[in-house]
Amino acid sequence: MGRYLIPLGIFIVLVGFLAVGLNLNPREVPSPLIGKPAPAFSLPVLEESGKSIARDELRGKVWLLNVWASWCVSCRAEHPVLVELANRKAVPIYGLNYKEVRGDGSLDARQMAPADELALARSRASQWLNERGNPYVASLLDLDGRVGIDYGVYGVPETFLIDKNGVIRYKHIGPVTPDAVRNVILPKVKELNAAS
């Protein structure tokens, strides 16, 4: 009878894994960056052509970096929450517009001229914000996604909370929910603002 029990044994092991798997979130990837300085960047600003913002300009305040793109479906769900958060004026939100053109699987931007890509990204991103409201102090255009890679962006949207010394304190994966704003983000902002 022994060998006839083998399939059952394999199945029991599999069930163990599946049961553990139920309590895991496959979309949640731990970030090794928490507690480390936010990677440097200097990127063009969406709202003002010709202007760019670098990381070090944001030192001295607590701020949120929200990774978004117009092609990202979950960003649509998250957007009203961000607009509402921005209206409270509790914390400045900067947008990292991630691979606006290249992230859209339906076309291959590597074969476009860089100027064309920038123009296309600007037009798509601003149209999206015009329709839905703009919660961002500024959105930074990360066309080739290099800054996103430095920040370990795994999927859009993601949101980073960065303190006065430029250290990443928290990372939220997936759409920001009203619950996460109330119970996690706002308390942490308060705590970081109180710290010198």
Partner 1 sequence: MIPELGSFSLALALALALVQGILPIAGAARNDARLMGVARPAAHGQFVFVMIAFACQIYGFVANDFSILNVATNSNSALPLQYRVAASWGSHEGSLLLWALMLNGWTVAVTVFSRHLPEEVAARVVGVMGLIGVGFLAFMLITSNPFDRLLPAVADGRDLNPLLQDPGMVFHPPMLYMGYVGFSVAFAFSIAALLGGQLDAAWARWSRPWTTVAWVSLTLGICLGSYWAYYELGWGGWWFWDPVENASFMPWLIGTALMHSLAVTEKRGTFKSWTVLLAIFAFSFSLLGTFLVRSGVLTSVHAFATDPRRGVFILGLLVLVIGGSLLLFAWRAPKVGLGGSFGLVSRESALLTNNALLSVAAASVMLGTLYPLFLDALNLGKISVGPPYFDAVFVPLMTPVVFLMAIAPFSRWKGDSLPALARRLRWAFGVALVSALLLPLTTGKWTPMVALGLFLALWVFVTSAQHLFQRLRGKADEGTVLSRLRAIPGGWWGMWLAHVGIGVTVIGITLVKGYEQNLDVKMATGDTAHLAGYTFEFKGVTERKGPNFVAASALIDVTRDGKPVATMKPEKRMYTVQQMPMTEGAIDPGFTRDLYVSMGEPLPGTEAWIVRIFYKPFVGWIWWGAIFMGVGGLIAAADRRYRRLAERAAARRPAVDAAAVPAVAR
Task: Give residues in contact with partner 1 (CB under 8 A).
Answer: 1, 4-5, 7-8, 11-12, 14-15, 17-24, 26-27, 29-30, 73, 76, 101, 104-108, 111-112, 116, 119-120, 122-124, 131
CB count, 10 Å around CB of 102? Answer: 20
152: left (phi over 0), alpha (psi -120 to 50) or beta: left
Our CB check for partner 1 shows the closer of 87 and 123 to be 123
Our CB check for partner 1 shows the closer of 90 and 173 to be 173
Give Cα 87 distance to the centre of its chain.
20
**Helix spans in 23-113 (H):** 73-88
Residues with Cβ within 8 Å of 84's Cβ and at least 6 positions away in sequence, in order, are 178, 181
Our CB check for partner 1 shows the closer of 29 and 186 to be 29
Q: How far is the CB of 86 from partner 1 (least distance, A)?
A: 21
Our CB check for partner 1 shows the closer of 15 and 34 to be 15
Q: How far is the CB of 9 from partner 1 (least distance, A)?
A: 9
